[in-house]
Amino acid sequence: MPLIVFMLLVVVLAIGLTLNPRLVPSPLIGKPAPQFELPLLNGNGVLTQETFKGNVTLLNVWASWCFACRQEHEAIKWLANKGVRVIGFNYKDQVADATQWLHDLGNPYTAVISDLDGRAGIEWGVYGAPETFIIDHRGIIRDKRIGPVDEVYIRERLMPLLEQLHKEMQASTG
């Protein structure tokens, strides 16, 4: 009997190793953004989930200690330069480190919220940085990317989805 249990465990683990962690579906897709109230990184106020209402938004989870965040930063800047509304979600980072990182690499964000202890990240289902959420104009999460945003994701998934969401927003506002 122990041998059978061991073999079943090996099969389950082997299957798990073949899965792509970026394809883990988020239970939040199709649901309103979690309630939160987080301070802005610059200390000038707070943002809440109401921030997403009325605009299609890309919420980018990042940190200065995150190597992959540095890899994706040029893509995030490119999106912002194309007119995509990007809000930064600084995750488990020191304010001084995050501020210096943005100073050195450039700040593509409309606003940056700071989740020092990671508690808001738990509500969002954040596994780590980087992660990116696409939120429609009603505040509904429509997609989640685990890992760096790259050219393939932008071309094949993100831009078509943003185009669709902007059309939906225009149709609903008349």
- The full set of domains in the chain, from first to last, is 29-173 (3.40.30.10)
Q: What digits encode the pLDDT tens for the residues 86-110?
A: 999 999 999 999 999 999 999 999 9
125, 131 Cβ separation under 8 angstroms: no
**How much is the pTM?**
0.85
Q: pLDDT at residue 52 above 60?
A: yes
Rounded Cα distance, 122 and 138, in Å: 22
Q: pLDDT at residue 6 above 80?
A: no
User: pLDDT class for 172, splitting at 50, 70, 90?
Assistant: confident
DSSP state of 56: -
